[in-house]
Chains A and B, each alone.
Chain A
Amino acid sequence: LAERTNLAGVRHILLVLSGKGGVGKSTLSTKLALALRSAGKKVGILDVDLCGPSIPRMLRVQDSAVHQCDSGWVPVFVGQDKAIALMSIGFLLERPDDAVVWRGPKKNALIKQFVTDVAWGDLDFLIVDTPPGTSDEHLSTVEALRPHQLLGAVLVTTPQ
């Protein structure tokens, strides 16, 4: 039930994927969120790259912390008008250089929590930024999002 409540107000969910690392997924996710916000949309970003969370730094909130409320975690609000909602494991690290050295099952558990326990509120777009590859994070994210309607995936690459 909590799951339905937290994502119930999200109109479109879109995944940014690649397969290849370092092609600009996080950069694109960030720019896309900012552009949609400029166009007057309510936007959220979910950063499920547990080993290399880049979004907080890209939006200059790498020193932020997250808080809990009754319906779960409160996202960090970023952007010029503080109206883009962001959740990333980057916010849960004690020190930014701490490595998240987790095997699949532990990563899967956190991703499930990220998807179901963040109080997103009403959003037009939720952009999900992913790490490179086709493994635990990707499977778990798609599984956890399955009850909800996914708009689709944007795939990013470089020319070579």
Chain B
Amino acid sequence: MGSEGSGGRVFQHRGGGGIGGTNSASDKVSGVTMCSESMFYGSNWDPIVSLSQSGNFGNSNIVSQSEFANPVMLENQAMGSSLAQFHSDSGFVDLVPRIPNFGSGSSFSEMVTSFGHNPDSSPNLQKGATQDHCPNSDGGMLGASPYGKRKREVQQGASPKSGEEEQRKDPSGDTSREDDERKQKSEKGVARGKQAKDDRSGVEPSKDDYIHVRAKRGQATNSHSLAERVRRERISERMRLLQELVPGCNKITGKAMMLDEIINYVQSLQQQVEFLSMKLATVNPELNMDIDRLLSKDILHLRGGNTTQLGVPPGLSSSLPFPQYPQGAFSSAPGTGSPFHSLPQQHAWNTELQGLLQMGYDPDPSGSMGRNGSSKMEL
């Protein structure tokens, strides 16, 4: 994370310099350079940024609608609603003189108009009709500056308020994440000053009307927030996956509690393995006939729905010091998924088993040391 931050910072300075230089309507060019720069600096950013950009380019309909390399569009994807809370309005002041990019800045005008007619045009904006507001650009822009100044004062004290408003207006459900993003970015914004953040004028008409008044904060933060947004989405996706895996986690919401639950579960599984291995160590000598029976029993399990799993002998269950994770719950999960696998796998198992037993199996080159290691480890 530290290296990410440093990379981002470097990036932002360059981004600011780059944008300050190209003030003309070569927004696309600057956007492209921004993209290339974003891929350039911060080596450990590369996969994230490229992934986020490719993801954005592939997924968003806004991009499909309008110019591809438009940095303002990039901002749209990236910023989302996270632009709404910028604390320092200096970016907006920068915005006003930079306005002339109407040709490419349809989204920009969109932003301005949304900014100007916030309550009115919000439904239109949210539908993503980026092209419709071009003719309004003048009026919007003209109206923007006083509104902007007014909003500057509003925003300086009212970041939580804007957060609430945004939550109210934005039903997308990203709000919690955006709050986090917002806080992070507001800190960064304050820390880095205006010149670093130039290009964050991105309006996202389809998602939020709010915005993005924080005009043109550096592209660096653009890709930064892009990366963060992608990262957060990935994290939440994996948390959802984990939530399905861990039994009894459907009611729990919130990352912290989910993580606690996951940690508990992993610990309990590991303890279970230890306990079972202790038992197996004492029971050991009867393993000679186990293999075939074990595999056949697996087949039975897969087909029959794990009845034997639930039927833990009372002696064993009373001695188990495990928490309340129901044995059937997680045993059913892999079982139900593979009843149709069992048939073709019988033959596979038997042949593989015989082959392995004859050869003295060598699972994979990296695992070849495994056997020796395990036998010698306890010395």
Same complex origin of A and B: no
Interface residues of A (CB under 8 A from B): none
Interface residues of B (CB under 8 A from A): none
